[in-house]
Amino acid sequence: MEVAVARDAGDQPASSQNWVVQPLLTDLYQITMAYAYWKSGKTKEHSVFNLFFRKNPFHGEFTIFAGLEECLKFVKNFRYSDTDISYLRSVLPASVEPEFFDYLRHLTTEDVVLHAVDEGEVVFPRVPLLIVEGPLVVCQLLETTLLTLVNFASLMATNAARYRMAAGKDIRLLEFGLRRSQGPDGGLSASKYAYMGGFDGTSNVLAGKLFNIPVNGTHAHAYVTSFSELEELQNKRLVPRDGGEPVDVLERALAWREKLALVFNVLPEEASAGELAAFLSFAMAYPNGFLALIDTYEVYRSGLLNFCAVALTLNDLGYRALGIRIDSGDLAYLSRTARDMFEKISQQFDIPWFASMTIVASNDINEETIISLNEQEHSINCFGIGTHLVTCQRQPALGCVYKLVEINGKPRMKLSQEVEKVSIPGRSACYRLFGKDGT
Amino acid sequence: MEVAVARDAGDQPASSQNWVVQPLLTDLYQITMAYAYWKSGKTKEHSVFNLFFRKNPFHGEFTIFAGLEECLKFVKNFRYSDTDISYLRSVLPASVEPEFFDYLRHLTTEDVVLHAVDEGEVVFPRVPLLIVEGPLVVCQLLETTLLTLVNFASLMATNAARYRMAAGKDIRLLEFGLRRSQGPDGGLSASKYAYMGGFDGTSNVLAGKLFNIPVNGTHAHAYVTSFSELEELQNKRLVPRDGGEPVDVLERALAWREKLALVFNVLPEEASAGELAAFLSFAMAYPNGFLALIDTYEVYRSGLLNFCAVALTLNDLGYRALGIRIDSGDLAYLSRTARDMFEKISQQFDIPWFASMTIVASNDINEETIISLNEQEHSINCFGIGTHLVTCQRQPALGCVYKLVEINGKPRMKLSQEVEKVSIPGRSACYRLFGKDGT
């Protein structure tokens, strides 16, 4: 999370990591253990910890490793502050010797060596993603925070990569999940690592600002429902793209809607007047980037008809509309219907680009939905994906663990009554074997 | 999230809200819509938005409303900074008029009125949790952030309350989920709202420091595996509770283990020497608070036996051990076995408190596990709960929405082809009806 710290001082980021990523962002037992190690004279024993997971998420065959950049920043800046020490004094038993707190106050990670897989690499179960080597106490104190930084980042990047594989490379994928994420920073992590996993952009503006990720968005249903009649359109005139006298777009759009009603085989007055007013006002604000949400009332008889009337009006003035978004209903059917109408209009009025306008779909999309929509031969160009992507609904946590594998050169292991939890002791090195044909 | 902002300047929090909670923590379409409203002269239209959810989470019958405090701070401090405005200039189309950015720069929430349910209240579907009333543009710009702040907080508090109901009021519940949470702040939110939902504490030290939540923790498996033989115990002497000459605790513990092996009906040499060394060193660090993780090797033959030997040694010196934690295996069976042995030892050696030592269980606990353990008549006193609690695995997002219900005094609604998405237009007021008997 490259979330800057200070917003007050001239609005300049004072640091490049989220303030909450700090040594106290850990489980208390790391610190109670640290004291016991300290009391036992074991602080400097040379230890090796492996950070790895036991199973690929989502019943899948791979994982994308992510979060390394944040881990490096955390390890580099690891240092307890004075208020951290005061707080720890207040929660540890009174019997803890004061010298321990002096020891903590001056603890640094200068003797820690980190080996890691590259960020964004495809990884597999039991392969060490991070190997943390150094004095026992410091390595132990890093555990929880490193796990927190790797677990969700890798899960998210993996989830995004799976959506990308399901959608294919020609479909645009946008992350729309902020409001359903696990809090503010959960949302930022989701945007960042979805982009790393193969998404094209996000709706999250702060993620765009902080991480330089492309941001996207047009309007919500509320924009449409905020207009109820054509009279609410205060300004009805738009200057054509190449200049000249402003044109009354309402008049044109109504004329187009009359004509299109015949093509659609509907009555023009069945379409919502408020929706047409909303679309026109939006088109006048963004004549070069008009993309409308067409399912506020009824997709075919109202949203699509009104949209096409406005798009053709813009076309008269030299502008090209971008397309539509559908946020409910049978997305395969509705997208095919919309594409059919775009093609029909394209031919009938000889406007080639009209046939290839963008169709965005965004209602509760997940990996299975995309696969099922593919089978139904949808006509969607872009998916906006929220809840399922950012919460990783099918498996909301990657179970990375951090295990002591060696101490003072001696291999270590934990036995377990659950056989899949037993890990191989000693340092690990992993090799990927390629056949003669490169696979 | 009462996460302070500045860590540099004397380590004093400069603000009481997580820095990432700011006006740009929103979907871009809120801002593209704001421009279209501005262009249409609708910025000041008086609007009313309701924030509500449509279904209780977890197939349940209630929801706990949480996140209000954060919402109030966000609304109060709502203000775009200069760099926010520069960033927005760079992402909105070049055709957007410069006056719009001046307008945004000076936008405040002074005309917004918020009505809300009390934080921590039990709430139900379609009841407005927040009613946001004021100028259309400002109310619209608050949407995503308010949803982000309410959705996860309420989901988490509800999840925690369900665990509390499953466990009953006499069991201690501790949140251990930081490492499996959705990033650093996801972890902090989880700790805060689990506490609000009825948990007794957390392992997350930063949550303890920031929110004044009780923190808990002892040691991990790594502490045990870091010792491999008795010789590693550098210090073997502990001063009794009431003072006097230090006593050799290793000698005593070995003697107790010999005796206990007969009670356990095992061979003392089957127990791990490294584990005994680890327990002794930990007990010497925390003679008044000894709680040991007993499943590193084998619960009955090693962990429990070694623990009891150390606990009886501490007892000889006037200290009382706290208990054990079990992190794998059949928790009902193992907890009953441990309780049986505690009771046997309590009787045999006439140490009444020994029978009622704490048994903590912590392996992948969820609501169903607790209910099933209840049926199996476990002997657990405390659950440490991570993944399932903090990710809300069974339903990782509460689907709160934010709907325009009135504009300039006129009721508004969105129709939908999905009938359960249709909301009642106009302002809502909700009443809870009580029968004569108060139910």
What are the sequence ranges of the domains in chain B? Answer: 28-214+394-421, 221-363
Give the Cα separation of B425 and B50 in Å (integer): 10
Percent of chain B surpassing pLDDT 90? 83
Nearest to A24 among B25, B82, B206 (CB): B206
Our CA-based measurement puts residue A18 at a distance from the nearest CA of chain B, in whole angstroms, of 8
Judged by DSSP in three states, A63 sits in strand
CB contact under 8 A, A184 and B15: no
What chain B residue is nearest to A232 in terms of C-alpha separation? B40
pLDDT tens per residue across span A342-391:
999 999 999 999 999 999 999 889 999 999 999 999 999 999 999 999 99
- Average pLDDT estimate for B429-434: 64
CA distance A30 to chain B (A): 7
pLDDT tens by residue, A273-329: 999 999 999 999 999 999 999 999 999 999 999 999 999 999 999 999 999 999 999
Range A28-165+394-421 has CATH code 3.20.140.10: yes
- The predicted pLDDT at position B2 comes to 30
**Nearest alpha carbon to residue A55 among A437, A319, A399:** A399
CA dist B196 and B198 (Å) reads 6
Q: Per the CB < 8 Å rule, is B7 touching A29?
A: no
Q: Is B153 close to A183, i.e. CB distance below 8 A?
A: yes
What interhelical angle do B249-264 and B305-316 show, nearest 10?
Answer: 130
Q: What residues of chain B lie within 8 A of the CB of A34, using their CB?
A: none
State percent of chain B over pLDDT 70.
Answer: 90
* Confidence at residue B41, expressed as pLDDT on a 0 to 100 scale: 92
pLDDT at A398 exceeding the cut of 60: yes
Spatial distance between the Cα atoms of A73 and A361, rounded to a whole number of angstroms: 38
Q: What is the pLDDT of residues B10-67, one digit of tens each?
A: 333 434 677 889 999 999 999 999 999 999 999 989 999 999 999 999 999 999 999 9
What tens digit of pLDDT does each residue of A228-271 get? 999 999 899 999 999 999 999 999 999 999 999 999 999 998 99
Percentage of residues of chain A with pLDDT beyond 90: 83
Cross-chain residue pair B206–A27, CB shorter than 8 Å: no
Question: So what CATH class is B28-214+394-421?
Answer: alpha beta
Q: What would the pLDDT profile of A81-136 be if each residue is shown by its tens digit?
A: 999 999 999 999 999 999 999 999 999 999 999 999 999 999 999 999 999 999 99
Q: What is the pLDDT of residues B90-116, one digit of tens each?
A: 999 999 999 999 999 999 999 999 999
Per-residue pLDDT tens for B243-301? 999 999 999 999 999 999 999 999 998 999 999 999 999 999 999 999 999 999 999 99
* Beta-carbon separation of A221 and B25 below 8 A: no
Q: How many A×B Cβ pairs under 8 Å? A: 428
Q: How many CB atoms lie within 10 A of CB B353?
A: 11
Residue B436 has pLDDT above 90, yes or no: no
pLDDT tens digits for range B136-181: 999 999 999 999 999 999 999 999 999 999 999 999 999 999 999 9
Q: pLDDT by residue (tens digit) across B322-360?
A: 999 999 999 999 999 999 999 999 999 999 999 999 999
List CB contacts of B152: < 8 A, sequence separation 6 or more.
A181, A182, A183, A186, B67, B186, B189, B193, B397, B398
Of A84, A96, A421, the CB nearest to B328: A421
A183: nearest Cα among B162, B337, B191: B191
Tokens 């890093």 — which residue? Answer: A142
In this predicted structure, the answer to whether residue A4 has a pLDDT above a threshold of 50 is: no
**Domain B221-363: which topology?**
TIM Barrel (3.20.20)
CA–CA min distance A434, chain B (Å):
34
Of A22, A223, A387, the CB nearest to B33: A223
- Per CATH, B28-214+394-421 and B221-363 having the same topology is answered no
Q: How far is B437 from chain A (nearest CA, A)?
A: 39
C-alpha–C-alpha distance, residues A293 and B186, integer Å: 31
Residue in chain B closest to A153 (alpha carbons) equals B183
The answer to whether the CB atoms of A205 and B31 lie below 8 A apart is yes
Mean pLDDT, rounded, of chain B:
91
Chain A CA closest to residue B135: A226
- ipTM for the complex? 0.89
Using CB atoms, which residue from B11, B31, B391 is nearest to A81? B11
Minimal-distance CA residue of chain A relative to B220 = A29
Residues 6+ apart with CB under 8 A from A3: A17, A18, A19, A185, A188, A210, B19, B20
